[in-house]
Structure 1
Amino acid sequence: MDGKTFLKALETNNSKIINQIYQKNFFSIKNFILQNKGSIEDAEDVFQKALLQIAVRLKRENFEINTSFDGFLYTVCRNLWRRELNKNKNRVTNNEVVERVSEERENAEAYLEIKKQELFIEKMGKLSENCKHILNLFFAKLSYAEILTKTEYSSETVIRQRVFKCKKKLTELIKSDTRYLKLAAI
């Protein structure tokens, strides 16, 4: 099934296909969250929130996913979890105070992150195949030595220079887009 089918299922609340989304994607999300200071319950919450936010966004605006649905969902979940970790890092614990998190604010932040991610993915797609390959390895947190084994470059120094040039090109592409200024202003 393609991304359009999954998006339609979320929009129409098709439980059969939504169950397939869970079966296909939850394991990788759970592993990511468990490896990053979370629990199974956290993974379930984040996964549910991600699906809900995508569904809410679909109702607000019609959008398409230009990458795989699985990758898009993983990115949304990863961003939600990182935001949750950052929120907890900055939170002062006081048992007598009950914090209220605005659902609307949380959805707005998620929407903004999705828009930023879409811009990033779109501009990444405009890079050369070589740059895409190098940056995907770099963003997957592989060391320069590991990248060297997966490419035909002669040294780690050459890879560092290539990563720098590709990141610079990607940054220029992103910053030259009018949507970047709008997203940065929010």
Structure 2
Amino acid sequence: MPITDKDQLKQLASGEKKIVQDLYTKVFPKIASFVMKNNGGLQDAEDVFQKALMQIIARYKLNTFTIESSLDGFLFSACRNLWRRELNKQKRIVTNDEALEHSKETEDMTMATLEQEKWELFQEKLAELSDNCKQLLQLFFQKVPYKDIVEKLGYNTDNVVRQRIFNCKSQLTKLIKKDSRYNQIKEL
């Protein structure tokens, strides 16, 4: 019987080495490729991978959750968010003070977890929209030009596409703000 993502998450949180080895084999090469294509090295990828695993485990132990996608995709998303955060941090500050580094590390873990929760809420609410809205917003977020969206989806003009995207974004915003998690995340 194949192991489910829920079972994998539970095994990961309980410290089973096999699941970590499996994730390392399946997901780490993708993480390494992403980090190295985005101004990082193999050591950076290993650090991000380890931080993401620790973040997921700590979050699961604190408040058991389920994953809507696959554990592999969830882990990749967490790593991607951590690496982007690291790149932004490197632009702003360079320090070697160990005490500052330790508190920054804790703050970074907290912020990365928060960003992951925001991303999950966004993805969940996006999935609740109509197929047309999902398709429009995905093209919009991929920065596809309006004229291309007009052709691809058969709308009459750029203005119709703009209005429809505005309406879809408004629907998405309302769904997110209605969710009780929004206020919890917003306050942090």
Q: Provide TM-score, normalisation by structure 2.
A: 0.82
Moved more, 64-73 or 147-156: 147-156
Aligned partners of 2:151 and 2:23: how far apart in 1?
34
Q: How many residues align?
A: 184
Aligned partners of 1:44 and 1:149: how far apart in 2?
43
Counterpart for residue 167 of structure 1: 169
1:59 aligns with 2:66: no
**Partner AA of 1:90 in structure 2:** R
How many Å apart are 1:59 and its aligned residue? 1.3
Counterpart for residue 115 of structure 2: 113
Change (3 A) 1:37 1:163: farther
Secondary structure in 2 matching 1:101: helix
Contact 1:6 / 1:18 at 8 angstroms: preserved in 2? no
Aligned partners of 1:118 and 1:11: how far apart in 2?
19
Counterpart for residue 26 of structure 2: 24
**Partner AA of 1:76 in structure 2:** A
For residues 5-154 of structure 1, the aligned pairs below 5 Å read 5-91=7-93, 93=94, 97-98=97-98, 99-102=100-103, 103-144=105-146, 151-153=153-155
Identity %: 47
Q: Provide TM-score, normalisation by structure 1.
A: 0.82
Moved more, 135-144 or 166-175: 135-144
| Partner deviation per Cα, 1:45-65 (whole Å, 9 max, x = no partner) | 111110111011111121111
| Partner deviation per Cα, 1:19-55 (whole Å, 9 max, x = no partner) | 2212221222222222222212111111111011101
What 5-or-longer segments of structure 1 have no aligned partner? none
RMSD across aligned positions (CA): 2.5
**Partner AA of 2:179 in structure 1:** D
**Partner AA of 1:113 in structure 2:** E
What 5-or-longer segments of structure 2 have no aligned partner? none
How many Å apart are 1:123 and its aligned residue? 1.0
